[in-house]
């Protein structure tokens, strides 16, 4: 075991000392020093396990994964938060899944639609009201293409049969009505919500869309939620590569696109965590291969373009090389502009599905080093993909708590931290430059050739803002 | 280097063309059809259909009980809000409050999952209390519930007792609790329940000599500026007071390069002694109803609810303070009143006769209705998703007192999609609401004045008071300058584009 690994392990042990015995034992399994080779067994973190109560996990719930991540962005579906008012309220218009359309007329993405459970619904059940609610929505929003019923905690606990209500409505309305059993108490994090949502896409939507004709270049862009326009920036590149993007899941997605992805020649997967399930299904059911790619930062973009092109003919492969040749000077100019202010800066990341590993290359393109990284809801396959991306002895965190994040920050002293809104302002108080890496801090896109300049600019303004220098510590 | 982000990038021709190409796969309705339906949603017919709905809320302006409860709990010294239930809720409360205040918000969950649904949440509570206490060293853990814990019927009182018996937490650690089912009431109900729970716990056995202080309960008030203003005014008057719960330093803490988990709040000793105060004044009525009832009955204090929003409401507040303490309003505050009134007189021509739509929490709406009418504005559509019949009566009573209230109509249990219909069929000049009301601004073109909660898309508004005479001045500024901005926008290509207004 190397010195770097040993030192990090020692630091982790010190941090863990503050926990009560049981929690300490559990948390020890989720924190490790990185071994890029994957050989050191003590360096593998456990993941996708229940959070300890009372430790202030950053995680959300299955509803957040199903509604907030997968189904919420589908623009022409009415996505109903079925249950009390809060869940829909707090997840309303917060994830920046951009879409084109007239909100409230033919698209519904930034609306908060809820059955607003009252005590009587708990006592007598909510099915009757749900049935009536669906009818009211059908009348008020005639251009909706589908309805999704996203269950909140009470629905599963009181034994409502939303499947029966959906089935009946689906028949009457002649459009999909999708019951999604994503009650927040199911599973251990957002992750199960992704899986449940994937399954409902499979059961209710996939295979039912219309596509007039096919070409050998048809692909589906999977696991891009179009945050700040990410999917659009990616789509632009795929089109320039000579591919036809027949479906975009689920950022700016329409129900029809959700229904025709099985006609793609290859599924291109950006967020593996949230959408690998449906890709595996399409592989088994329709024989569609899928490939992961990474459009953050030029190094990974060039690799990914070649990787994607390798699934197609020489013409596409040539296009990839042409694109790289065309955009490399642009990317180099961005690096030239921003690298001097960022070189050698150390970054700590704690995010969600793909960013803890996918953004590492983009930081490295700018001369920065990711010294700690972790996932709220990753699984072992995510970590396996992460170890080789990071240096030996870097800190790997699974389901980190507020306490751990603060302690690691004090000890590692990073130059910037990338995490979420709940973490953001404690870092501001600490005087540590911070960027939200779920929502791009209301900026973006960060994907693709159009996204990298924005990423570079944003990291620069984060690290090099003069405001950090104004802080005067209390004596 | 010129960098284009989403604001400019997606307006570019190649993206516009991309969006057109994408339509091939979207199976979307034609532009004409979208236009036709869009126009239909603006009609009387649609309004009627919209108001017929009974079973679905569309863009409601309310949050759930535990959000109010954790907000209340966080305003006490060293207090960690502790939520029994599923963990996603707490993640949401923390994000929601952080997005509004641009401040860290701490709260823990007991992370209940399927097994807790079957066996109950006792084990989660026991381990949760031990972990939270050991890791975050709170002086108080204030427990509330999510709907999950409520549906399965977790007994907080018994669980907390068990936790003490088993040594998960020290015997003497205060652990007040409140049942806060999200399927009853709203954020204001949760605030009330938690406040009552905390006061019940911390004052137990503390009845003693009168301390001559006044308790002030701000209610679900998300303006940190209001708390500071209140303290300033009472200090000027030399009125000894306890603010229950004082969230100002929690959600507006100075940056000193260190992160404090508990940067302030009402001292627990003061909270405990609040039982011995002369009187309790709440600055909101609907978010403190149960608490005031409890204080009146159990502590035998005189209680009142007086929202000091607007001139006359603030006058009433000071009259009440005077009545309790015998202290007159000092000249300094009288001068502030004079300045606020002066500003209202100066600005009145631009607000007089303007018609307003309002949406928000009940207490805030009562204050704003009153203020608007004082400056000659007319509240027309008043939408309160979490208002009850009592609120409607109160609001109607205020409206009936002024000729400017004659057009006012109060809609309870309605939402912003109802308000959209109202604004299309009976247009108004201005809209007052939270950040989500910007959807109405976009759809109807009615300028939005951001007052309420949450305010996500404008910075620092919550740091400026809207209570007291200073608050009235800030309201005038917000309103009249929005009116003037709008006037400039509308007249920029006409002769009416004036430099002096």
pLDDT, position B339: 98
- Say if the Cβ atoms of A54 and B130 lie within 8 Å: yes
pLDDT at A475 over 80: no
- Say if the Cβ atoms of A116 and B256 lie within 8 Å: no
Cβ neighbour number for residue B113 with a 10 Å cutoff: 23
Active site residue B184: no
Looking at A210-313, list the stretches that DSSP marks H as alpha helix, in order from N- to C-terminal side. Answer: 230-240, 255-260, 272-286, 298-309
Phi (first) and psi of residue A149, to 5 degrees: -110, 105
Chain centre to alpha carbon of residue A267: 17
Cα–Cα nearest to A150, from A211, A93, A194: A194
Question: What six digits make up the tokens of B54?
Answer: 């009974």
Cα–Cα nearest to B126, from B111, B147, B137: B111
Q: For residue range B393-410, list pLDDT tens digits in order.
A: 999 999 999 999 999 999
8 A C-beta contact, residue A243 and residue A309:
no
Phi (first) and psi of residue A300, to 5 degrees: -70, -35
Question: What six digits make up the tokens of A281?
Answer: 């299904």
- Say if the Cβ atoms of A239 and B112 lie within 8 Å: no
Average model confidence (pLDDT) for chain B? 98
How many contacts does A have with B, using Cβ atoms within 8 A? Answer: 344
Q: Which of A98, A337, A426 sits opposite B259 (nearest CB)?
A: A426
pLDDT at A474 over 90: no
Q: Which of A232, A402, A425 sits opposite B15 (nearest CB)?
A: A232
Residue appearing with tokens 């949230």: A274
Per-residue pLDDT band at B415 (split at 50, 70, 90):
very high
Question: What six digits make up the tokens of A66?
Answer: 């199903």
Active-site choice (B28, B34, B151, B477): B151
List the single best residue of A80, A90, A165, A336 to mutate versus B (max B Cβ within 10 A).
Answer: A90
Active site residue A244: no
Q: For residues B309 and B472, what is the distance between their CA atoms, to the nearest angstrom?
A: 7
- Say if the Cβ atoms of A445 and B41 lie within 8 Å: no
Phi (first) and psi of residue A148, to 5 degrees: -115, 130
Q: Which residues 358-387 of A have a C-beta within 8 angstroms of B?
A: none
ipTM over 0.90: yes
pLDDT, position A213: 97
Q: For residues A310 and A313, what is the distance between their CA atoms, to the nearest angstrom?
A: 7
pLDDT at A353 over 90: no
Active site residue A18: no
Report, as an integer, the average pLDDT of A17-45.
95
Cβ neighbour number for residue B321 with a 10 Å cutoff: 24
8 A C-beta contact, residue B187 and residue B63:
yes
pLDDT, position B41: 98
Residue appearing with tokens 């009201």: A129
Partners of residue A53 in chain B, C-beta under 8 Å: 108-112, 124-125, 127-128, 131
Active-site choice (A82, A95, A355, A438): A95
Q: Which of B5, B34, B60 sits opposite A444 (nearest CB)?
A: B5
- B27 DSSP 8-state letter: T
8 A C-beta contact, residue B319 and residue B451:
no
- Say if the Cβ atoms of B64 and A84 lie within 8 Å: yes
Question: What six digits make up the tokens of B329?
Answer: 């309003």
Per-residue pLDDT band at B65 (split at 50, 70, 90):
very high
List the single best residue of B131, B154, B252 to mutate versus A (max A Cβ within 10 A).
Answer: B131
Question: What six digits make up the tokens of A250?
Answer: 């689920």
pLDDT, position B128: 98
Per-residue pLDDT band at A38 (split at 50, 70, 90):
confident
Q: For residue range B35-45, list pLDDT tens digits in order.
A: 999 999 999 99
Active-site choice (A28, A33, A61, A220): A61
pLDDT, position A1: 74
Q: For residues A450 and A297, what is the distance between their CA atoms, to the nearest angstrom?
A: 10
Cα–Cα nearest to A48, from A419, A380, A383: A380
Instruction: Work out the minimum CA distance from A156 to partner chain B, whole angstroms.
Output: 10
8 A C-beta contact, residue A208 and residue A78:
no
B214 forms beta bridges with B241, B279
* SS3 of residue B179 by DSSP: coil
CA angle (B398, B400, B406) in 5-degree steps: 120
Report, as an integer, the average pLDDT of A129-154.
98
Per-residue pLDDT band at A41 (split at 50, 70, 90):
confident
Cα–Cα nearest to A377, from A49, A38, A37: A49
Q: For residues A99 and A88, what is the distance between their CA atoms, to the nearest angstrom?
A: 19
Per-residue pLDDT band at A320 (split at 50, 70, 90):
very high
Q: For residue range A230-276, list pLDDT tens digits in order.
A: 999 999 999 999 999 999 999 999 999 999 999 999 999 999 999 99
pLDDT at B227 over 90: yes
pLDDT at B235 over 80: yes
Q: CA–CA distance from B82 to each of A177, A188, B110, B113 (Å)?
A: 37, 19, 8, 16
Q: Which helix (H) or strand (E) element contains residue B409?
A: strand B409-412
pLDDT, position A80: 98
8 A C-beta contact, residue A135 and residue A115:
no
Q: For residue range B91-122, list pLDDT tens digits in order.
A: 999 999 999 999 999 999 999 999 999 999 99
Active site residue B89: no
Instruction: Work out the minimum CA distance from A381 to partner chain B, whole angstroms.
Output: 23
A78 forms beta bridges with A147
Out of A39-43, B60-64, B173-177, which region has the weakest mean confidence (pLDDT)? A39-43
Partners of residue B260 in chain A, C-beta under 8 Å: 429
Per-residue pLDDT band at B465 (split at 50, 70, 90):
very high
- Say if the Cβ atoms of A430 and B33 lie within 8 Å: no
Q: For residues B49 and B56, what is the distance between their CA atoms, to the nearest angstrom?
A: 13
Q: For residues B81 and B68, what is the distance between their CA atoms, to the nearest angstrom?
A: 11
8 A C-beta contact, residue A155 and residue A162:
yes
- Say if the Cβ atoms of A56 and B108 lie within 8 Å: yes
8 A C-beta contact, residue B82 and residue B143:
yes
With the CA atoms of A242, A243, A248 and A251 taken in that order, what torsion angle do they form, in degrees rounded to the nearest 10? -20
**Burial class of residue B492 in the structure, from the number of CB atoms within 10 Å of its CB (0-12 exposed, 13-18 middle, 19+ buried):** exposed
Pairing of strands A113-114, B57-58: antiparallel
Q: For residues A130 and A128, what is the distance between their CA atoms, to the nearest angstrom?
A: 5
Question: What six digits make up the tokens of B437?
Answer: 């009301």
Q: For residue range A94-121, list pLDDT tens digits in order.
A: 999 999 999 999 999 999 999 999 999 9
Q: Which helix (H) or strand (E) element contains residue B288?
A: none
Q: Which helix (H) or strand (E) element contains residue B144?
A: strand B140-145
Q: Which residues 150-209 of A have a C-beta within 8 angstroms of B?
A: 152-154, 156-158, 184-188, 190, 209
A353: contact with B, CB 8 A cutoff: no
Q: For residue range A387-436, list pLDDT tens digits in order.
A: 999 999 999 999 999 999 999 999 999 999 999 999 999 999 999 999 99
Q: How many residues does chain A have?
A: 475
Q: What is the pTM of this model?
A: 0.98
Active-site choice (B147, B239, B247, B329): B147
Q: Which residues 221-260 of A have a C-beta within 8 angstroms of B?
A: 228-229, 232-233, 235-236, 239, 245-248, 252, 254-257, 260
């Amino acid at each position: 075991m190397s010195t770097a690994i040993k030192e990090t392990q020692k630091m982790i042990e010190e941090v863990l000392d503050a926990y009560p015995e049981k929690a300490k034992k559990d948390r020890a399994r989720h924190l490790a020093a990185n071994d890029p080779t994957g050989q050191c067994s003590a360096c593998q973190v456990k993941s996708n396990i229940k959070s300890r109560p009372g430790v202030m996990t950053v995680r959300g719930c299955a509803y957040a994964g199903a509604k907030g991540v997968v189904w919420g962005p589908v623009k022409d579906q009415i996505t109903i938060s079925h249950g009390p008012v809060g869940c829909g309220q707090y997840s309303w218009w917060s994830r920046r899944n951009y879409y084109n359309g007239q909100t409230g007329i033919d698209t519904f993405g930034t609306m908060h639609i809820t059955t607003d459970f009252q005590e009587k619904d708990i006592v007598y059940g909510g099915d009757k009201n749900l049935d009536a609610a669906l009818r009211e929505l059908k009348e008020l929003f005639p251009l909706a293409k589908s309805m999704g019923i996203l269950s909140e905690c009470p629905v599963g606990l009181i034994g409502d049969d939303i499947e029966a209500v959906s089935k009946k409505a689906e028949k009457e309305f002649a459009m999909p009505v999708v019951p999604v059993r994503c009650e927040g108490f199911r599973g251990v994090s957002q992750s199960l919500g992704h899986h449940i949502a994937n399954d409902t896409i499979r059961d209710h939507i996939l295979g039912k869309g219309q596509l007039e004709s096919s070409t050998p270049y048809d692909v589906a862009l999977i696991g891009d939620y179009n945050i700040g326009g990410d999917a659009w920036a990616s789509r632009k590149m795929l089109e320039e590569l000579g591919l036809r993007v027949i479906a975009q899941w689920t950022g700016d997605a329409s129900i029809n696109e959700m229904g025709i992805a099985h006609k793609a020649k290859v599924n291109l997967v950006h967020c593996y965590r949230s959408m690998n399930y449906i890709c595996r299904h399409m592989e088994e059911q329709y024989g569609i291969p899928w490939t992961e790619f990474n459009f953050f930062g030029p190094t990974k973009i060039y690799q990914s373009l070649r990787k994607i092109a390798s699934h197609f003919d020489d013409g596409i492969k040539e296009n990839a090389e042409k694109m790289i040749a065309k955009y490399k000077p642009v990317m180099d100019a961005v690096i030239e502009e921003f690298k001097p202010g960022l070189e050698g800066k150390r970054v700590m990341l704690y995010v969600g599905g793909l960013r803890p590993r996918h953004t590492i290359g983009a930081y490295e393109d700018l001369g920065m080093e990711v010294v700690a990284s972790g996932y709220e809801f990753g699984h072992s396959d995510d970590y396996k993909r992460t170890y080789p991306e990071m240096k030996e002895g870097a800190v790997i965190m699974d389901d980190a708590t507020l306490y751990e994040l603060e302690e690691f920050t004090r000890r590692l002293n990073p130059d910037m931290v990338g995490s979420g809104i709940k973490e953001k302002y404690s870092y501001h108080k600490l005087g540590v430059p911070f960027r939200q890496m779920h929502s791009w801090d209301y900026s973006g896109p960060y994907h693709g050739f159009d996204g990298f300049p924005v990423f570079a600019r944003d990291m620069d303004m984060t690290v090099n803002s003069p405001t950090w220098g104004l802080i005067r510590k209390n004596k | 280097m010129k960098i284009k982000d989403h604001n400019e990038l997606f307006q570019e021709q190649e993206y516009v063309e991309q969006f057109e190409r994408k339509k091939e796969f979207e199976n979307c309705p034609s532009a004409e059809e979208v236009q036709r339906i869009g126009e239909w949603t603006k009609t009387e017919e649609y309004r009627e259909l919209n108001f017929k709905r009974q079973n679905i809320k569309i863009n409601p302006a309310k949050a759930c009980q535990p959000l109010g409860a954790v907000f209340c709990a966080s305003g006490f010294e060293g207090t960690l809000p502790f939520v029994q239930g599923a963990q996603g809720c707490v993640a949401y409360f923390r994000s929601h409050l952080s997005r509004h205040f641009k401040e860290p918000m701490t709260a823990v969950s007991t992370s209940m999952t399927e097994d807790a649904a079957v066996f109950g949440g006792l084990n989660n509570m026991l381990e949760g209390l031990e972990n939270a206490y050991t890791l975050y060293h709170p002086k108080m853990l204030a427990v509330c519930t999510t709907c999950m814990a409520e549906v399965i019927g977790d007994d907080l009182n018994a669980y907390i007792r068990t936790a003490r018996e088993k040594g998960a937490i020290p015997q003497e650690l205060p652990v007040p609790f409140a049942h806060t089912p999200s399927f009853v009431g709203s954020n204001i109900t949760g605030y009330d329940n938690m406040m009552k729970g905390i006061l019940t716990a911390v004052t137990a056995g503390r009845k003693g000599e009168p301390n001559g202080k006044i308790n002030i309960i701000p209610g679900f008030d998300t303006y940190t500026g209001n708390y500071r203003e209140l303290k300033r005014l009472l200090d000027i008057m030399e009125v000894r007071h306890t603010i229950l719960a004082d969230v100002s330093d929690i959600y507006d803490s100075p940056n000193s390069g260190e992160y404090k988990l508990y940067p302030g709040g009402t001292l627990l000793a003061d909270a405990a002694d609040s039982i011995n105060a002369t009187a309790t004044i709440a600055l909101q009525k609907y978010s403190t109803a149960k608490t005031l009832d409890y204080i009146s009955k159990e502590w035998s204090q005189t209680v009142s609810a007086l929202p000091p929003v607007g001139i006359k409401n603030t006058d009433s507040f000071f009259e009440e303070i005077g009545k309790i303490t015998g202290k007159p309003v000092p000249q300094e505050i009288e001068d502030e009143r004079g300045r606020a009134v002066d500003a209202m007189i100066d600005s009145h021509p631009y607000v007089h006769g303007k018609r307003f739509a309002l949406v928000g929490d009940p207490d805030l709406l009562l204050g704003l209705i009153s203020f608007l009418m004082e400056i000659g504005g007319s509240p027309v559509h008043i939408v309160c998703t979490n208002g009850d019949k009592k609120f409607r009566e109160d609001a109607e009573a205020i409206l009936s007192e002024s000729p400017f209230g004659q057009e006012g109509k109060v809609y309870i249990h309605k939402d912003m999609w109802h308000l959209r219909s109202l604004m299309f069929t009976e247009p108004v000049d201005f809209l007052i609401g939270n950040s989500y009301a910007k959807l109405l601004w976009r759809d109807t073109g009615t300028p939005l004045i951001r007052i309420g909660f949450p305010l996500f898309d404008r910075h620092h508004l919550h740091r400026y008071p809207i209570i007291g005479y200073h608050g009235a001045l800030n309201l005038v500024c917000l309103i009249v300058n929005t009116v003037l901005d709008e006037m400039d926008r509308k007249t920029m290509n006409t002769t009416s584009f004036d430099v002096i207004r």
